[in-house]
Amino acid sequence: NTMSLDWGYTDDNGPSTWAEKYPLAAGARQSPVDIDTSKATSDNSLVDREIDWSYPSNCSYRIVNTGYGWRVDTYGDDTALSGGPLSEVYKLEQFHCHWGATNDEGSEHTVDGKSYAAELHLVHWNSEKYSSFKEAASQPDGLAVLGVFMEIGNADNAELEKIISLIPKIIHKGQDSQASFDLDFGSLLPESKHYWTYLGSLTTPPCNECVIWTVFKEPITISERQLEVFRSLKSVGEEDAIEPEEGKLVKNYRPPLPLGNRVLRECGP
């Protein structure tokens, strides 16, 4: 029926079922992973190769309810991500977030088995080597995603508040809102640039193994109220007449997959 999505985060269409329709989900280079800090190697290939980003301060954005969460599409012209594990310059395509029903789960990557309450993903594509995001997404070095852990703090995150204030306009799947605000990405990222990096995949179907992952060690903070606003999003469209409490997007994270024989590198203590 129209209500059954071909993938999602419920018991009948969640991560353990994805490989049935999306065979890549069963690959050996999947994401997320549990970051076993004892396995991280700090070889000097990354030493002082800081991750460098430059994002515009004032830009127009489109926030959309994908049915799996909110996503802010940027018009990545004057954005650039380089350094760290990256050999080319990548452009910012979009950013989005994953969270759970309670604060003790929600992040996709975990650190020595610990989950954070949410995880922000800034998705970039290799615009030096490929001509489009879609083309890049079929290449092993096509995408570079920055992962930022989010933990609950007393204060609101002021930058995120600019995004959260738009969520009431996109409660239902498919709704979007155009906004131009001066987003200071610098404060959506932690102060410390220390990170782990490894080769992985999209964490949603079709799970393409096209992502160079960089996960910052230091979390940023978000308030409980702000996280509750995320959970108020609906995974169904306005026309899907269901009970008010049904269809709430309380959980949209994929649990960790085995690192296998992949190398996990770190930069900074």
Ligand X SMILES: NS(=O)(=O)c1ccc(C(=O)N2CCc3cc(O)c(O)cc3[C@H]2c2ccccc2)cc1
Which positions touch ligand X (CB under 6 A)? 94, 121, 123, 137, 145, 202-206, 208
Q: CB-wise, 166 or 210, nearer to ligand X?
A: 210
Q: CB-wise, 94 or 110, nearer to ligand X?
A: 94
The tokens of 147 are what? Answer: 């992962």
Q: Which does 123 bind (CB under 5 to 8 A by kind): Zn ion, ligand X, none?
A: ligand X
Fill in the amino acid letter for 36. Answer: D
What's the CA gap between 213 and 174, in Å, rounded? 28
What's the CA gap between 160 and 25, in Å, rounded? 31
Q: Verify binding: residue 234, Zn ion, rule CB under 5 A.
A: no
Provide the strand spans (E) within the chain.
34-35, 51-54, 58-65, 70-73, 80-83, 90-99, 110-111, 118-126, 143-153, 176-182, 195-200, 211-216, 220-223, 265-267
Q: CB-wise, 3 or 47, nearer to ligand X?
A: 3
Q: Which does 208 bind (CB under 5 to 8 A by kind): ligand X, Zn ion, none?
A: ligand X
Q: Which does 160 bind (CB under 5 to 8 A by kind): Zn ion, ligand X, none?
A: none
Phi-psi region of 112 (alpha: psi -120 to 50; beta: other; left: phi over 0): left
Least gap, CB of 210 to ligand X (angstroms): 7
Nearest residue (beta carbon) to Zn ion: 121
Q: CB-wise, 110 or 204, nearer to ligand X?
A: 204
Q: Which does 206 bind (CB under 5 to 8 A by kind): Zn ion, ligand X, none?
A: ligand X
Least gap, CB of 7 to ligand X (angstroms): 7
What's the CA gap between 3 and 110, in Å, rounded? 31
Nearest residue (beta carbon) to ligand X: 137
Cis peptide before 244 (omega within 30 of 0): no
Name which of residues 113 to 142 contact Zn ion (CB under 5 A). Answer: 121
